[in-house]
Amino acid sequence: MKRIEEACERAQYALWNKFWDQEKAVFVNHYPVKEEESWIYWWHAHALDALLDGYARTKEKDYLERFKAEYDGVFRENGGTFLHNWYDDMEWMALACLRVYELTGDQDYYSALMKMWDHIKGAKNDYKGVGGMAWKTDLPASRMSCSNGPGCLLAMKLYQLTVTEAKDGWEDKAAYYLNFAKEV
């Protein structure tokens, strides 16, 4: 078990020390860092999830501080929003926000998640009689597994959260999320 813990820490160290850009206060997507770095949104959600793995494993607050720094950097670099032209990118980001909310109870992450969900749910369509979720906001027929998989997973996790928290009107919300996932 000790070897696994050490390997996890080495991976976390490499993520932070090789990909964190101190000046931009956000991860970069190349190592070594390129002079001209193109903005690629989707993988930031996975980096956030990796930081949450570190926190879930160790309960060290440094991981949450790093999460917050990367989260803020992504928001800033993406034009002051988490909304994006690719639904799958937003779905992964929403899943990371849901996970950090479940770990911390921080309502700011839940609010960001629900803003993304309000946009993401628009991906579900039956364009030309075929159901599923679009990949891109401007291409309703672009239904692919990369958007349907995390979209369905997000709906099921929202269902689970709603049932667990059982807040006002939870039965209708839970049924909505469950039906959404089943339809996708």
pLDDT at 168 over 90: no
3-59 tens-digit pLDDT = 998 999 999 999 999 999 999 999 998 887 777 777 788 899 999 999 999 999 999
What is the model's pTM? 0.94
Query: Would you call 6 exposed, middle or buried from its count of C-beta atoms within 10 A (0-12, 13-18, 19+)?
Result: exposed
pLDDT at 130 over 90: no
**Tokens found for residue 95:** 């899943």
Residue-level pLDDT at 32: 78
* CA gap 91, 180 in Å, rounded: 14
* CA gap 103, 120 in Å, rounded: 23
Radius of gyration over every alpha carbon of the chain, rounded to an integer in angstroms: 17
pLDDT at 128 over 90: no
Tell me the average pLDDT across 158-182.
93
43-101 tens-digit pLDDT = 999 999 999 999 999 999 999 999 999 999 999 999 999 999 999 999 999 999 999 99
Q: Which residues, 6+ apart, have CB-to-CB distance to 102 below 8 Å?
A: 161
137-155 tens-digit pLDDT = 999 888 889 999 999 999 9
Cα→Cα distances 56→26, 60, 152, Å: 21, 8, 24
Residue-level pLDDT at 99: 98
Q: Decide if 77 contacts 26 (C-beta within 8 A).
A: yes
pLDDT at 136 over 80: yes
Tokens 């770095």, located at residue: 37
